[in-house]
Each structure stands twice: as structure tokens, then as C-alpha cells.
Amino acid sequence: MIWSRHRDELIRYATVLVGPAEAEDLLSTVVLRVLQRRSLTELRHPRSYLFQGVLNEARSLGRRNSRRRLAGDESVPPIEVDPGVLDAVLRLPERQRAAVYLTYWRDLPIAETAELMGCRPGTVKRYLHLARSHLREVLDEK
């Protein structure tokens, strides 16, 4: 079954993008939206489709949370990990964070990362370059 085959890796991916408190809800939202339109078995590349859906929903959630923070609502729960490194990684834009997670933490090849993110390998390389530059700059300051 497609869902049981990819659930764990999608939860880990969502956790990196939005944190552990939001990950399962985000993934549930993505799957429900897919199922409202079609069956998972109808998807040509279900794994890539679901990974892209998680990334898109994480970006939407990030925009909603930014608007809440601007309005004074600080209801996004903190994540308990090494504060300096985690803060630097979490400040990366979602696409850079996704590329870092898939390429470095999951050890996927650039081509597979690109497929899961729905972009070209050159774009993933650019996201990684930008992420490394930002992390180097931020972490060298500390």
C-alpha cells in the first residue's frame, strides 16, 4: 500500500519543514487533499507527488504563521534541539531546508531530491549552495 510504504519518511520530512508539533497534521492535510481529488493509486509517481504536497503545504503554513506572528500571535510551539544550529536551519526558506534535509540528512542523490521537490537538479544545487552560504555565515558569527 502506498500510504504505509511512504508514511514514515513523509513524517520525517514534514517534521524537518514545520517541526514535530505540526508534522502529522500537515501530512494529514496533504493526504486528505489528494484523496478528495483522486486515489493514491491513480498517481503516476505517488512518492514524488506526496513529497511535493508536503513542501507546498509547509510553505503555506509558514506564510500563515508569519502573518500570525506579525499580528502578535506567538502560538507556534518551540522545538527542543541544539538552539544555535536548529535556529539557523529553521531560518532557511522552506525549499532550502527541504533540499538540505533530503540531500544531507536522508543522503539522497541530487536527482532524487529534485524529483521529490518537483524541480531540476540544478535548482537543488542552487538551494544547497544558498543554504550552505547562509548557515556558514550565521554559524560563524556564533
Q: Inter-axis angle of helices 2-18 and 20-37, to 10 degrees?
A: 130
Distances (CA, A) of 60 to 2, 78, 105, 135: 25, 19, 23, 23
Q: Which domain holds residue 54?
A: 1-80
Statement to judge: residues 137 and 68 lie in one domain = no
Cα R_g (the chain), whole angstroms? 16
User: Which pLDDT does position 82 carry in this prediction?
Assistant: 62
CB-CB contact of 57 with 29 (8 Å): yes
Shared domain for 48 and 73, answered yes or no, is yes
Tell me the pLDDT tens digit for each residue of 104-137. Answer: 888 899 999 999 999 999 999 999 999 999 998 8
pTM of the entire predicted model? 0.65
> pLDDT of 53-106, one tens digit each?
999 998 888 776 654 544 444 444 444 546 677 778 888 999 999 999 899 888
Three-point CA angle 100, 19, 38, nearest 5°: 85
